Amino acid sequence: MSSGLPLLGERFPELEVITTHGKMKLPDDYAGKWFVLFSHPGDFTPVCTTEFIAFERLREQFEALNCELIGLSVDQVFSHIKWIEWIKENRNVDVQYPVIADELGKVSSALGMIHPGKGTNTVRSVFIIDDKGVIRLILYYPQEIGRNMDEILRALKALQTHEQHKVALPANWPNNDDLGDKVIIPPPPSMDGAKARLEDAKAGKFECWDWWFCYRDL
């Protein structure tokens, strides 16, 4: 791993953490699975509460994609447990995913989750890590803005689709205004490839706007 904050395409740093489900080792404990690590500024705060509820309501959809959820903040594990109990008692939502208690801020600092202008609180970070322990997506939100969980789920589906089919995904996939749920074929790397691409398009193997912009159904 390079010095400084982790980057896309790098292996997630090896970390031992304390969670509401006990001690865990990241990314080793999720070997063979994808996982979404997300931080929140603090327990018993309104926006974070809505996010925890939203993540739990989508948890089974993440798990169906071989992906686990894990939260994090600098609060103590006792605070996490009490907050999760409050959510269950008052909102009838039973949060099943683990939450890291990063009391000393070591995990948050290593992952760039601490914003200098916000004291020691963690900003709303999202890391999507693949089944090989590699970081595939990083998102940062300010404390004041709640995340769109459907977009995080969509991004996971898009990453897995790219991984499986070696294609690119258009804006708003699978609901692109022009392509719908079709996927984009990577451009050919040579003039011969460009010529062959157009011939393939004429033969009906896929559709093209031009030789460098071709797409198809999955």
**What are the chain's domains?**
15-148 (3.40.30.10), 166-218 (3.30.1020.10)
> Residues 48, 67, 208, 214: which is the catalytic one?
48
Give bridge partners of residue 100 from the DSSP assignment: 19, 72
At 119 the pLDDT is 60
Q: 211: which 2 tokens?
A: 């030789």
End-to-end alpha-carbon separation of the chain, Å? Answer: 34
156: burial class by Cβ within 10 Å (0-12, 13-18, 19+)? buried
Q: What band does 116 get if pLDDT is binned at 50, 70 and 90?
A: low
Catalytic site includes residue 214: no
Q: Tell me: the pLDDT tens digits for 161-211?
A: 999 999 999 999 999 999 999 999 999 999 999 999 989 999 999 999 999
Whole-prediction pTM: 0.92
What b/e sequence results for 51-87 when a residue is b if at least 16 CB atoms lie within 10 Å of its CB, and e otherwise? bbbbbbeebeebeeeebbbbbbbbbebebbeebbeeb
Q: Cis omega (within 30 of 0) on the bond before 187? A: no
Kindly give the interhelix angle for 46-64 and 149-165, rounded to the nearest 10 degrees. 30
The H or E element containing residue 30 is none
